[in-house]
Structure 1
Amino acid sequence: MANKKKTTIKDIANVLGITPSAVSKALNNHPRISEKTKADVIQVAENLNYQPNHLASALRKGKSNLVGVIIPRANSHFFSSIIEKMEDVLNKEGYNVIISQSNESYKKECRSIDALLYTQVDGIIASMANETIKLNYYEKIKSQNIPLILFDRGENDLNVDYIGIDDYKSSQIVIEHLVQQGCKRIAHIGGFSHTRIYKNRIRGYRDSLKKFDLPIEDDLITESNLRIEDGRRIMKQLLELPNRPDAVYAASDYAALGALQTMQSMNINVPNEIALVGFSNESFTSLVTPSISSIEQHSSKIGELTAKTFLKRINNPNEKVSLNKMILDAELIVRDSSKRK
């Protein structure tokens, strides 16, 4: 079956007996086109199922009113909450958001950047994939003078706007809480340390153990993609150690959930035998039993500040606007998984 030919401005013009230029002006609400002609053009456009070519329009105007957003995964309450607030702010200013998820893949992230650049987006907002080490594709965005704002995960080397929380201090808060609960052998299920936020979380973890004169052992520190299956696998390894930990601090609630599932399958009492703390305050942390203690990352605030930072950049294209690096204070939500009797 032959593909149906896409309706063009010329097709609408032929039906109405006017010029394609007049149709284009009518669709763009030009003041010199009569209200009757505008109404006729809109009606014929609907009848012919006309879809405007946004790419061509963006090339003509030099503005698409589209913002590309790249996130590691869409099934996270943290990222979905950020996008919800981001869209709310940007939509009110006439911008639409194109969302792409990398699934923690560097290659997929690069393809997303290429696609967004081809679509002529006015800016790109991103949180990097776990696999991302090379920054060449982000440098590519900068080289085209397109605003780039990073949130949650971003590298200082790029020298762009960044909004996130104090990851180093977050780890200190977690370790201090676990020490107060009587924990002495605290394991860390971390993200990959080549990513700045996870490096800072590991650094905060190590420095806090030193502060409380607790052992820092390589067997108790692991790096992973922080998925549920990673939490299950790593927790199993920790339980096979000759001297197993009495607490686990996971740099992701998903890894914490996996760790909890492994402990429950082995009838380990959480928190009295092994206490557990996660990160991000995902919605499920308050619903499982025991509920999981977690770091609140203020996702809605990050979404709002990130969107406002983009608007500040796009509305002042010819002005030197100082870099906006906003680090928010973290908060530990203490629940049953780490609260010992």
Structure 2
Amino acid sequence: MKKGKSTIHDIAEKLGITASTVSRALNDHPRISENTKKLVIKMARQLNYQPNNIASALRSGKSKLIGVVVPTVNRNFFSSVIRGIEDIANTLDYKVIISQSYEDYEKEVQTVEALLNARVDGIIASIAKNTEKFDHFQKVLDKGIPLVLFDRITNSLEVSQVVIDDHYGAYQTVDHLIQQGCKRIVHFTSPKKINIYKERLRGYMDALQDHSIPFDPLLIEESNMQLEDGRQSMLNILEKNIPFDAVFSSSDYAAMGAMQVLKERGFKIPEQVMMAGFGNEPFTSFTDPPLTTVDQKSIPMGKETAETFFELLKSDQKKDSPQKTVLKPELIIRRSSQKK
């Protein structure tokens, strides 16, 4: 047997039939007999035949592949969104190629280019923290390839989007803390120009205003919102020696870091400081005390994003206006923000 990958011509030669018959059999063509299909499939397995998806895409115009770009997959939110996307894609016989930008603009650009070269039928993406230019996504749109952004979006592109109402989630959280008697609420946010953090900060400020509580910029801490950032932000607040009675973090991870510092310094939660995060990461129900947080409806977001994508795929997207779908998040109240 010759070296290299097996082709449909190898299968045809073994069975004494034409390559076009092999191709039709592998694609379940109705004019090919069931017996021939079984013989072709059996021989394809024996020869370890692997279809050339790019060649197939060039012939048919469809690769049955979707590129999904996320900042990272080791966050429950993004992995759950991917699950939701795959739930829909699998029912339509589509496969998902998952790529990570690692919050890096250059990596995101390279990933999008690689997906285009792989002839994906479209791209679903959540923008990296460091991305401020969007030429690579505009290139996707210019090629007429479906593009849907979720969670982290930009208003710089005419593109369909699926998000949660971050303003509503933050507003509900701060309103809850105020109802529990809090008036000096620390807020952790990000200095990056990302829509989700801007909307959560706006929700925080609007809730204060609606309760006639003055906004104090000294209570705002900016960071990359990881666990160590939360620890440092909490230390910064303590060093300012200003009064506070609650912490609302735009990230569960930063909230966890703050909780660690407060407990190390002898603060009682929720008696002295109430706490709330955002994201409903799995660990939030196991902290001591369990952490109040906002559920981002990640699996429904994934399904809605996939449905939006497939609507674009079957329509003439150049004629259709981009659609923006906004899902309602849910405040999950736990002991970290409840009076005993």
2:310 aligns with 311
**Alignment-mate amino acid for residue 10 of structure 1:** H
RMSD: 1.9
| Offset of residue 278 of structure 1 | 0.4
Structure 1: runs of 5 or more not aligned: none
Structure 2 residue 178 is matched with structure 1 residue 148: no
Indicate the residue corresponding to 2:320 in structure 1: 321
Gap runs ≥5 in structure 2: none
| CA distance in structure 2 between the partners assigned to 1:74 and 1:53 by the alignment | 28
2:71 alignment partner AA: P
TM-score, L = length of structure 2:
0.93
Report the equivalent of 1:231.
230
CA distance in 1, matches of 2:69, 2:61: 22
Give, in angstroms, the shift of residue 308 of structure 1: 1.2
What is aligned with 1:190? 189
* Residue of structure 1 in register with 2:292 after alignment: 293
Partner-residue secondary structure (3-state), 1:157: coil
Within a 5 Å distance, the mapping from 1:134-213 to structure 2 comes to 134-213=133-212
Report the Cα distance in structure 2 between the residues aligned to 1:195 and 1:235, rounded to whole angstroms.
22
Contact residue 7 and residue 49 of structure 1 kept, 8 A? yes
Q: Distance in 2 between matches of 1:170 and 1:307?
A: 23
Tell me, yes or no, if structure 1 residue 13 matches structure 2 residue 12. Answer: yes
- What's the CA shift string for 1:88-111, capped at 9, x where partnerless? 112111211111222222222222
Kindly indicate whether the alpha-carbon contact (under 8 Å) linking 1:133 and 1:195 is maintained by their aligned counterparts in 2: no
CA-CA distance at 1:244 after TM superposition = 4.6
Whole-angstrom CA distance in 2 between matches of 1:97 and 1:35: 30
Q: Which residue of 1 aligns with 2:131?
A: 132
CA distance in 1, matches of 2:168, 2:35: 63
Q: How far apart, CA to CA, are the structure 1 residues paired with 2:158 and 2:55?
A: 32
The one-letter code of the counterpart of 2:82 is I
What CA distance in whole angstroms lies between the structure 2 residues aligned with 1:151 and 1:55? 27
Provide, for residues 113-145 of structure 1, a one-character-per-residue CA deviation record: whole Å limited to 9, x for no partner.
112111111111111111111111111111111
SS at match of 1:248: strand
Quick one: percent identity of the two aligned structures? 48
**What is the CA–CA distance in structure 2 between the aligned matches of 1:255 and 1:205, rounded to whole Å?**
16
Moved more, 32-41 or 192-201: 32-41
SS in 1 for 2:49: coil
Secondary structure of residue in 2 paired with 1:163: strand
Q: By how many angstroms is 1:210 displaced?
A: 3.1
CA shift for structure 1 position 169: 2.1
Residue 135 (structure 2) pairs with residue 110 (structure 1): no
Distance 1:131 1:217 in 2: 28
Instruction: After TM superposition, give the deviation of residue 319 of structure 1 in Å.
Output: 7.6
- Measured after TM superposition, the shift of residue 216 of structure 1 is 2.9
Q: Secondary structure at the match of 1:178?
A: helix
SS in 1 for 2:277: strand
What residue is the counterpart of 1:77 in the other structure?
76
Q: How many residue pairs get matched?
A: 338
Distance apart, 1:38 and its partner CA: 2.3
Contact 1:192 1:199 in 2 (8 A): no
User: Normalising by the residue count of structure 1, what TM-score does the alignment of the two structures yield?
Assistant: 0.92
Question: In 1, Cα distance between the equivalents of 2:265 and 2:57?
Answer: 58
CA distance in 1, matches of 2:329, 2:141: 30
CA shift, 1:151, in A, is 1.2
Q: Indicate if the aligned counterparts of 1:130 and 1:192 stay in contact, CA closer than 8 A.
A: no
Q: What secondary structure, in the 3-state scheme, does the structure 2 residue paired with 1:305 have?
A: helix
Decide whether the 8 Å contact of 2:222 with 2:233 is kept in 1.
Answer: no
Q: Which residue of 2 aligns with 1:258?
A: 257
1:68 aligned residue: 67
What is the CA deviation profile of residues 127-177 of structure 1, one whole-angstrom value per residue up to 9, with x for unaligned ones?
A: 111111111111111111111111111112212111111112222212211
